[in-house]
Amino acid sequence: MLQQIGAFFALVLAMALPAMAELPAEAAGPLKAGDLLFKGATTGAGTRLAADWSKGDKRWGHIGIVVADEHGALQVIHADTGKPGEAGAVRRVSLAGFLSDVTDLGVYEVDLSGPARAAYIDYAESVVGRPFDHGFSLADDDSLYCSELVWRALSTGLGADAVPEKTSRLGRTYVSVSDISQNPHAHEARTVKGGSAGH
Protein backbone atom coordinates (compact mmCIF):
# COMPACT_ATOMS: atom_id res chain seq x y z
CA MET A 1 0.00 0.00 0.00
CA LEU A 2 2.77 2.45 0.94
CA GLN A 3 4.62 1.71 -2.30
CA GLN A 4 1.43 2.39 -4.25
CA ILE A 5 0.97 5.74 -2.47
CA GLY A 6 4.58 6.71 -3.19
CA ALA A 7 4.27 5.61 -6.82
CA PHE A 8 1.03 7.58 -7.28
CA PHE A 9 2.56 10.69 -5.68
CA ALA A 10 5.65 10.41 -7.90
CA LEU A 11 3.54 9.88 -11.04
CA VAL A 12 1.45 12.98 -10.39
CA LEU A 13 4.58 15.04 -9.72
CA ALA A 14 6.22 13.78 -12.89
CA MET A 15 3.14 14.72 -14.91
CA ALA A 16 2.87 18.17 -13.34
CA LEU A 17 2.49 20.91 -15.88
CA PRO A 18 4.12 24.23 -15.06
CA ALA A 19 1.93 27.27 -14.69
CA MET A 20 2.13 29.79 -17.51
CA ALA A 21 3.83 32.46 -15.43
CA GLU A 22 7.18 33.93 -14.73
CA LEU A 23 8.33 35.98 -11.79
CA PRO A 24 11.34 38.13 -12.74
CA ALA A 25 14.39 37.46 -10.56
CA GLU A 26 14.45 41.06 -9.30
CA ALA A 27 10.88 40.67 -7.98
CA ALA A 28 12.19 38.28 -5.31
CA GLY A 29 13.90 41.24 -3.65
CA PRO A 30 17.24 41.10 -1.86
CA LEU A 31 18.45 37.54 -1.28
CA LYS A 32 21.50 35.96 0.30
CA ALA A 33 22.99 32.49 0.17
CA GLY A 34 21.07 30.19 2.49
CA ASP A 35 17.69 31.86 2.07
CA LEU A 36 14.80 29.54 1.20
CA LEU A 37 12.47 30.12 -1.74
CA PHE A 38 9.01 28.56 -1.64
CA LYS A 39 6.96 28.21 -4.82
CA GLY A 40 3.25 28.82 -4.41
CA ALA A 41 0.92 25.84 -4.33
CA THR A 42 -0.75 27.02 -7.54
CA THR A 43 2.46 26.75 -9.60
CA GLY A 44 1.41 23.39 -11.05
CA ALA A 45 -0.19 20.03 -10.32
CA GLY A 46 2.89 18.79 -8.45
CA THR A 47 3.06 21.81 -6.16
CA ARG A 48 -0.67 21.55 -5.44
CA LEU A 49 -0.28 17.92 -4.46
CA ALA A 50 2.76 18.64 -2.27
CA ALA A 51 0.83 21.43 -0.54
CA ASP A 52 -2.10 19.07 0.02
CA TRP A 53 0.25 16.60 1.69
CA SER A 54 1.27 19.30 4.15
CA LYS A 55 -0.78 19.31 7.32
CA GLY A 56 0.05 22.91 8.21
CA ASP A 57 0.81 25.83 5.92
CA LYS A 58 -0.66 24.93 2.51
CA ARG A 59 0.43 28.06 0.63
CA TRP A 60 3.63 26.44 -0.67
CA GLY A 61 4.33 23.37 -2.78
CA HIS A 62 8.04 23.41 -3.60
CA ILE A 63 11.23 24.71 -2.01
CA GLY A 64 14.82 25.51 -2.91
CA ILE A 65 17.93 26.90 -1.23
CA VAL A 66 19.59 30.07 -2.54
CA VAL A 67 23.33 29.72 -3.19
CA ALA A 68 25.91 31.87 -4.97
CA ASP A 69 28.39 30.86 -7.65
CA GLU A 70 32.09 31.84 -7.62
CA HIS A 71 31.19 35.23 -9.13
CA GLY A 72 28.44 35.95 -6.60
CA ALA A 73 25.54 35.27 -9.00
CA LEU A 74 22.57 33.82 -7.16
CA GLN A 75 21.35 30.33 -8.00
CA VAL A 76 18.97 27.85 -6.41
CA ILE A 77 19.55 24.23 -5.43
CA HIS A 78 16.38 22.13 -5.39
CA ALA A 79 15.24 18.55 -5.88
CA ASP A 80 13.32 18.63 -9.14
CA THR A 81 11.08 15.89 -10.55
CA GLY A 82 12.20 16.82 -14.07
CA LYS A 83 10.20 17.55 -17.19
CA PRO A 84 8.27 14.73 -18.85
CA GLY A 85 10.76 12.20 -20.16
CA GLU A 86 13.57 13.64 -18.04
CA ALA A 87 15.00 12.05 -14.90
CA GLY A 88 14.47 14.03 -11.73
CA ALA A 89 17.50 15.15 -9.76
CA VAL A 90 18.89 17.65 -7.30
CA ARG A 91 19.75 20.55 -9.57
CA ARG A 92 21.58 23.86 -9.31
CA VAL A 93 19.74 26.36 -11.51
CA SER A 94 19.76 30.08 -12.11
CA LEU A 95 17.46 32.19 -9.96
CA ALA A 96 15.57 33.19 -13.11
CA GLY A 97 15.20 29.52 -14.07
CA PHE A 98 13.79 28.60 -10.66
CA LEU A 99 11.28 31.44 -10.87
CA SER A 100 10.28 30.79 -14.49
CA ASP A 101 6.98 29.10 -13.56
CA VAL A 102 6.20 31.08 -10.38
CA THR A 103 3.57 33.69 -9.60
CA ASP A 104 3.52 33.29 -5.79
CA LEU A 105 6.83 33.19 -3.92
CA GLY A 106 7.76 32.97 -0.26
CA VAL A 107 11.20 34.21 0.79
CA TYR A 108 12.38 32.80 4.12
CA GLU A 109 15.52 33.59 6.07
CA VAL A 110 17.35 30.84 7.95
CA ASP A 111 18.73 31.66 11.38
CA LEU A 112 22.01 29.78 10.99
CA SER A 113 25.26 31.72 10.93
CA GLY A 114 29.01 31.13 10.78
CA PRO A 115 30.15 27.49 10.49
CA ALA A 116 26.57 26.22 10.93
CA ARG A 117 25.37 28.20 7.92
CA ALA A 118 28.39 27.13 5.89
CA ALA A 119 27.72 23.45 6.71
CA TYR A 120 24.06 23.88 5.73
CA ILE A 121 24.95 25.36 2.34
CA ASP A 122 27.85 22.94 1.79
CA TYR A 123 25.50 19.98 2.27
CA ALA A 124 23.12 21.33 -0.39
CA GLU A 125 25.99 21.86 -2.81
CA SER A 126 27.40 18.38 -2.12
CA VAL A 127 24.23 16.55 -3.21
CA VAL A 128 23.70 18.29 -6.56
CA GLY A 129 23.24 15.56 -9.17
CA ARG A 130 21.67 12.97 -6.89
CA PRO A 131 18.43 11.48 -8.21
CA PHE A 132 14.98 12.68 -7.20
CA ASP A 133 13.45 10.44 -4.52
CA HIS A 134 10.23 9.20 -6.12
CA GLY A 135 9.70 6.87 -3.16
CA PHE A 136 9.71 9.79 -0.69
CA SER A 137 11.77 7.76 1.77
CA LEU A 138 13.82 9.15 4.64
CA ALA A 139 15.93 5.98 4.94
CA ASP A 140 19.01 7.58 3.34
CA ASP A 141 20.09 10.52 1.19
CA ASP A 142 21.04 8.56 -1.93
CA SER A 143 18.03 10.26 -3.54
CA LEU A 144 16.14 13.30 -2.29
CA TYR A 145 12.85 15.14 -2.66
CA CYS A 146 12.64 18.92 -2.19
CA SER A 147 11.70 19.24 1.48
CA GLU A 148 13.92 16.28 2.41
CA LEU A 149 16.88 18.09 0.84
CA VAL A 150 16.22 21.21 2.93
CA TRP A 151 15.63 19.17 6.10
CA ARG A 152 18.91 17.30 5.67
CA ALA A 153 20.80 20.53 4.91
CA LEU A 154 19.34 22.29 7.97
CA SER A 155 20.05 19.25 10.14
CA THR A 156 23.66 19.23 8.95
CA GLY A 157 24.03 22.89 9.89
CA LEU A 158 22.36 22.44 13.27
CA GLY A 159 24.12 19.17 14.10
CA ALA A 160 20.69 17.83 15.12
CA ASP A 161 17.39 16.85 13.52
CA ALA A 162 15.84 20.10 12.24
CA VAL A 163 12.37 18.51 12.09
CA PRO A 164 12.09 16.13 15.04
CA GLU A 165 8.29 15.88 14.63
CA LYS A 166 7.72 15.02 10.98
CA THR A 167 4.43 14.70 9.15
CA SER A 168 2.74 11.30 9.21
CA ARG A 169 -0.07 10.29 6.91
CA LEU A 170 -1.48 6.91 5.88
CA GLY A 171 1.18 5.16 7.94
CA ARG A 172 4.03 7.01 6.24
CA THR A 173 6.42 9.54 7.79
CA TYR A 174 7.93 12.25 5.61
CA VAL A 175 9.11 15.85 5.71
CA SER A 176 6.40 18.03 4.20
CA VAL A 177 6.88 21.50 2.72
CA SER A 178 5.05 22.95 5.74
CA ASP A 179 7.44 21.15 8.10
CA ILE A 180 10.03 23.55 6.66
CA SER A 181 7.90 26.71 6.27
CA GLN A 182 6.77 26.40 9.90
CA ASN A 183 10.19 25.41 11.21
CA PRO A 184 11.56 27.57 14.05
CA HIS A 185 14.82 28.03 12.11
CA ALA A 186 13.09 29.44 8.99
CA HIS A 187 11.45 32.87 9.17
CA GLU A 188 9.18 34.32 6.51
CA ALA A 189 10.76 37.55 5.28
CA ARG A 190 8.26 38.39 2.55
CA THR A 191 5.87 37.02 0.00
CA VAL A 192 5.67 38.06 -3.62
CA LYS A 193 2.40 37.68 -5.49
CA GLY A 194 2.04 38.60 -9.10
CA GLY A 195 5.02 40.91 -8.89
CA SER A 196 4.05 42.68 -5.66
CA ALA A 197 5.77 42.11 -2.34
CA GLY A 198 3.90 41.42 0.88
CA HIS A 199 4.92 41.69 4.57
DSSP for 126-174 reads HTTTPBB-TT---S-SSSB-HHHHHHHHHHHHHTS-S-SS-EEETTEEE
Name the DSSP class of 100.
T
Q: How many Cβ atoms are within 10 Å of 142's Cβ, its own excluded?
A: 10
pLDDT tens-digit map of 29-63: 999 999 999 988 566 555 555 555 667 776 788 99
Could you tell me if residue 123 is inside a domain?
Answer: yes
Alpha-carbon span 177 to 67, nearest angstrom: 19
Query: How many domains does one find in the chain?
Result: 1
Task: Classify residue 171: in a domain, yes or no.
Answer: yes
Kindly state whether residue 34 falls inside one of the protein's structural domains.
yes
Domain for residue 199, yes or no?
no
Q: What is the pLDDT of residue 21?
A: 57
DSSP 8-state secondary structure symbol assigned to residue 28? G
Weakest-pLDDT range from 50-59, 72-81, 86-95, 129-138: 50-59
**Residue 111 domain boundaries:** 2-194
CATH number of the domain where residue 92 is located: 3.90.1720.10
Least confidently predicted of 51-65, 83-97, 126-140? 51-65
- Tally of CB atoms within 10 A around 18: 15
Please report, rounded to a whole number, the percentage of residues in the chain having pLDDT higher than 90: 59
pTM for the full predicted model: 0.83
Tell me the pLDDT of the chain averaged across its residues.
84
